[in-house]
A and B are shown apart, each in its own frame.
Chain A
Amino acid sequence: MTVRLDTIVRYQTPEGVELSLLPAGPFVRGMAWFIDFAIRAVCYIVITIFLSWLGGIGKGIIMIGLFAIEWFYPVLFEVRNGMTPGKKAMGLQVVHDDGTPVSWSSSLLRNLIRCIDLLPLFNMVGFFTMLLNSRFQRLGDLAAGTVVVYFKDATRVITIPDYPPQPAPIPLTLAEQRLILDFCERSGDLSDDRRRELASLLAPLCGSKSPENRLLAYGNWFLKGKGAA
């Protein structure tokens, strides 16, 4: 088995195909939490200002509101599509570790246990728990069996520089094809020398004469279908 360099979680479905999920790390989740925190703070302030006009009833509603936001704000969003506004802004989504949408019970669990993850301050328990496992799960995630993953837009279009397509001299596996496509996609950001340097590592595949253009040619071939030029 090859050494894993990434944190991708693979899950095999009953149909025998493998799905992959990319868990989100502490930093991006921290950002999402911060956005949610800001939204919650605004909610607190708004309901406090508006309802304090209503006297006793208003005070009661304020406190019920505080209670609801404090414990159930994430739940209400997560059961709809797995995203609180903060997570949505950061492109994150909560799912079960088998990739299915988060259920009421899992969402409740992970958000009730949040009050331990918050301890002693600045989410420290949650932060260290996330560092201790390979899926960046905090305590609440571990108990509920959920992962926070990057929400991948399945229709993302890869754009690479145009070049007359050309088939690779030997058949390449999907992973190898992806590697070449990644190179093509980024080649705009690289200097010419660096491109040549990287591409010349693949000299057996693309020869020694302008290997970077050969890679572009293969990339165009892979992307636009075999001979669909």
Chain B
Amino acid sequence: MNQNQFEHTYRKQWDQFQQLLEILEKKEREAGKPEVPLSDFPQRYRQVCNHYGLAQTRHYSPALVDMLHGLVLRGHRQLYRKKNGLLWQLVHFLVRDFPRTVRQHGCAFWLAFLLFYGPAVAIGTATYFDSVLIYSLMGENEVTSMETMYNPNSDKVGRSLKRSSETNFSMFGYYILNNISIGFRTFAGGIVFGVGAVFLLLFNGLMIGGVAGHLSHAPYSLTFWQFVLGHGAFELTAIVISGAAGLVIGYSILRPGPYRRLDSLRLKAPTALRLVMGAALMLVCAAFIEAFWSPVVLPPSVKFSVAGVNWTLVTLYLLLMGRNSRNKNES
């Protein structure tokens, strides 16, 4: 069969295939019904692949081969594209996948937990008993600003002087920008063999622990703990999980097992991403609570009970969610 015959015989099929492609690529939403049903797409695609191979081996003209290559490339993209059902995925993610992934990476979680709370508790104890130690962690101005933030006489608890005029909503934006960026950076730092994640966990642990220890004296201690415990449940846990995500990718490069380091990284990266996106959603909750609930002045008993409820909720969520449907989905 020469090229002209070949083109003559199959031109119609290629046109029909192209029509299907355009519908799938959503360029022609309003175009009427295609000549062939969409369900024929895989079969048509394989035919075009076949024609492309034939055209190549028979040394047909480059223009024809290029045209078929273009069709194959577009068809390949449609047939093998990863499906996005965004909203549904989000729901599944929240009620099942995220807590399950956290549990599956218990080691990374607890290691990140230790890297964060270890130095936090140590330095916190130290700054509690040694009231000048805090100055080796941060400058004098910062310490003063922390102290004014949690001074019980301050009418805007939890705000530094510079931010004392901000409304709750603007603080919400500030917490989103600041805290989620920290979470993302902790995760991304993991790609440098885990070093970045470890560093940021330790650093944040030291800073938060140091401040907490220093402010655990009268007159600050009651205002401080009332303010931070409520959103801390979400915020601190999310920082630990972001760190765990960083550790997961770091570890996948350091100990690739049977894979090449790059392949091992690529295998683990989507799981780590799941952890850090979950952590980001938790940080959105944290920002909401920190901006709208934490500054509200209420009797300490109420504030502390709510904080207790939050910590219990986070723990139960991570421990229990998505357990029952496991067998159904993995079979």
Contact = CB atoms under 8 A, between A and B. Distances in A.
Interface of A: 13, 15-17, 19-20, 55-64, 66-67, 70-71, 79, 95, 98-101, 103-105, 108-109, 112-116, 139, 142-145, 152, 154-156, 158, 171-174, 177-178, 181, 222-226, 228
B167 A103 contact: no
Contacts of A13: 49, 72, 76, 80
Given A98-B80, A225-B3, A226-B3, A57 B176 contact: no
The listed residue with most A CB atoms (<10 A of its CB), out of B176, B192, B269, is B269
B46 to A, nearest CB: 6
B269 A144 contact: yes
Contacts of B65: 174
A22 B77 CA distance: 16
B265 interface: yes
A143 B249 contact: yes
22 contacts: A15-B46, A16-B49, A60-B174, A67-B180, A67-B181, A100-B82, A101-B81, A103-B84, A105-B270, A142-B265, A143-B266, A144-B266, A144-B269, A152-B70, A154-B66, A154-B69, A154-B71, A155-B67, A174-B59, A174-B65, A223-B61, A226-B61
A100 B24 CA distance: 14
Interface in B1-21: 2-4, 7
Contacts of B61: 177, 222-226
Interface in B28-76: 45-46, 49-50, 52-53, 56, 59, 61-63, 65-67, 69-74, 76
Contacts of A16: 49, 53
Contact of A143 (B69, B84, B196, B265): B265
Contacts of B70: 152, 154-155
In order of increasing CB-CB distance, the 7 nearest A-B pairs are A154-B70, A56-B167, A63-B173, A60-B173, A59-B170, A60-B169, A15-B49
B25 to A, nearest CB: 9
B189 interface: yes
Nearest to B245: A112
B109 interface: no
Contact of A67 (B46, B176, B187, B262): B176
Nearest to A82: B77
B269 A17 contact: no
Contacts of A63: 170, 173-174, 176-177
Contacts of A101: 77, 81
Contact of A56 (B2, B71, B170): B170
Contacts, number: 159
B155 interface: no
A108 B262 CA distance: 18
A100 B76 contact: yes
B196 to A, nearest CB: 7
Contacts of A95: 77
Given A20-B69, A112-B184, 10 more contacts: A15-B50, A64-B177, A67-B181, A71-B181, A100-B77, A100-B81, A108-B273, A152-B70, A154-B74, A158-B62
B62 A64 contact: no
A178 B49 contact: no
B172 A60 contact: yes
A224 B3 CA distance: 11
A95 B81 CA distance: 10
B166 interface: yes
A17 B177 contact: no
Nearest to A66: B177
A71 B166 CA distance: 24
A57 B172 CA distance: 9
A112 B188 contact: yes
B62 A109 contact: no
A108 B71 CA distance: 28
Contacts of B269: 109, 143-145
B4 A70 contact: no
Contacts of B71: 154
A156 B70 CA distance: 10
